[in-house]
Amino acid sequence: MKVKERFLKALNGEVPDRLPVTTHHVQPYFLSKYMNGISYHDFFIKFGLDSIVWIVPHLPNKDKGDFYDPTQKELAFLESRRIINNDWQIEWKDLPDNNFLARRYNFITPKGTLSMVTKSDDKSSMVTEYLIKEKGDINLLGEYMTYPKCDVKEVNRVVEKYGNNALIRSHIPGFDVFGQPGCWQDASCLVGIEKLIIATFDDPEWVHSLLKILFERKKYYLKSMNGAKYDLLELGGGDASTTVISPKIFREFVAPYDSKLIALAHKSGQKVVYHTCGGMMPILEDIVAMNPDAMETFTPPDMGGDTDLKKAKKRIGDKVCMIGGFDQFHYFQGCTPEKTRSAVRKYFEEAGSNGGYILAPSDHFFDADLQLIEAFADEARKCIY
């Protein structure tokens, strides 16, 4: 089978020719430090992994007076071109910091300015000052925040370029500068997870108001996707995991919004993977009930998650494709190739039966021994159905 055919078989819950094996993103830091700066696609080819190409092309709605932000000179990892208009302007300036690239962003509207600070290094970025400081700030989002459209033409150009040699993947848009696909996860990036959790008890209606505002932006994007030939869209986020929130909060504040986004994506002809990097076991069936096509990351306990892959497969493996589960912290560094190969076989035996499973690290990795990635990929290719 070709790469895309193999992926799609697994995503459809069917049995491919062998176990699909890939990674969730390839970090620029890793490619620069260990691979002499080769491209993402060349990384997959070098190790014989099943290739995923990530793209996030957006279009402004010119009918509403929207246009691309001219101050955005370069796109960060997985960043889209920002959309602004005369009532939603983005200004930024660098701040003094000895250890990070620190930057303040101001979102300027006719009725006030919202501000946030991010810090970045060569591995990651974080928010150190959240955008939403007062409850009334969300009214500026609701009135002035721009809504991106999907650049269907560009998506299909990339799809045609790679043909059956790669799975073309993207994510549902998060808030500009720093946001993530799921409604709850996006809200967490704007408010801060501790404050957001407390608000679910103190002022649940305010939380719902914020989630509805973010939902409408994502809904608009999904409705613009007709004809886009993506293979998979990501939704969700780690702040919706049971490592962070209770199943009760998930059912009341996460599922009602993200399940509607999944239905909209399906209506636009898109497949969805629900990403939960953290605890999953108490909400496995809750996620399945949202009707995604796939679930990830199935992080094991030794990496801070809670997944028992064999039990998860038994509970939901006949209902949804499972992606991830591999312990990259312990088997991409500091062990023998034989141990890595043994781990691959273990995961295949636990989750690979009857198809519907894609082997991948449970989320990102930054440092790795190249011979262990080779062992990971080679052993997975030998897992034949």
Residue 208, in any domain of the structure: yes
What is the spatial order of strands in the sheet that 232-236 belongs to?
A: 52-54, 167-171, 232-236, 272-275, 294-296, 321-323, 357-358
DSSP notation for 239-303: GGSTTTS-HHHIIIIIHHHHHHHHHHHHHTT--EEEE--S--GGGHHHHHHT--SEEE----GGG
Residue 118, in any domain of the structure: no
**Structure-block tokens of residue 169:** 């993947």
**Mean local confidence (pLDDT), 249-270:** 98
Question: Exposed, middle or buried by CB within 10 Å (0-12, 13-18, 19+), for 84?
Answer: buried
The vertex-298 CA angle with 297 and 300, nearest 5°, equals: 125
pLDDT of residue 79: 86
Q: How far apart are CA 351 and CA 311, in angstroms?
A: 9
Residue 126, in any domain of the structure: no
Q: What is the pLDDT of residues 312-365, one digit of tens each?
A: 999 999 999 999 999 999 999 999 999 999 999 999 999 998 999 999 999 889
Structural domain that includes position 258:
3-64+75-80+133-381
pLDDT at 282 over 90: yes
Q: H or E stretch including 109?
A: strand 101-109
Q: What is the pLDDT of residues 171-219, one digit of tens each?
A: 999 999 999 999 999 999 999 999 999 999 999 999 999 999 999 999 9
Residue 349, in any domain of the structure: yes
Strand 83-84 to 357-358 pairing: unpaired
Q: What is the pLDDT of residues 122-147, one digit of tens each?
A: 898 999 999 999 999 999 999 999 99
Q: How far apart are CA 106 and CA 95, in angstroms?
A: 13
Taking every pair of C-alpha atoms in the chain, what is the biggest distance, in angstroms? 62
Q: Exposed e or buried b for every residue in 159-184, given b needs 16+ CB within 10 A?
A: beeeeeebbbbbbbbbbbbbbbbbbb
The pLDDT-based confidence of 25 (bands split at 50, 70, 90) is confident
3-state helix, strand, coil in the chain (%, to 5): 40, 20, 40
Q: How far apart are CA 243 and CA 306, in angstroms?
A: 8
pLDDT at 77 over 80: no
Per the structure, how many domains does the chain have?
Answer: 1
Phi and psi angles of residue 176, each rounded to the nearest 5 degrees, phi first: -60, 150
**Mean local confidence (pLDDT), 266-293:** 97
Q: How far apart are CA 332 and CA 308, in angstroms?
A: 20
Residue 102, in any domain of the structure: no
Q: For the domain that residue 344 is a member of, what is the CATH number?
A: 3.20.20.210
Q: H or E stretch including 76?
A: none
DSSP notation for 117-156: EEEE-SS-EEEEE-S--STTHHHHHHHH----EE-HHHHH
CB of 18 closer than 8 Å to CB of 384: yes
CB of 272 closer than 8 Å to CB of 266: yes
Q: H or E stretch including 167?
A: strand 167-171
Residue 125, in any domain of the structure: no
Q: How far apart are CA 187 and CA 210, in angstroms?
A: 7
pLDDT of residue 170: 97
List C-alpha distances in Å: 365 to 30, 296, 331, 380. Answer: 8, 15, 11, 18
Residue 33, in any domain of the structure: yes
Residue 139, in any domain of the structure: yes
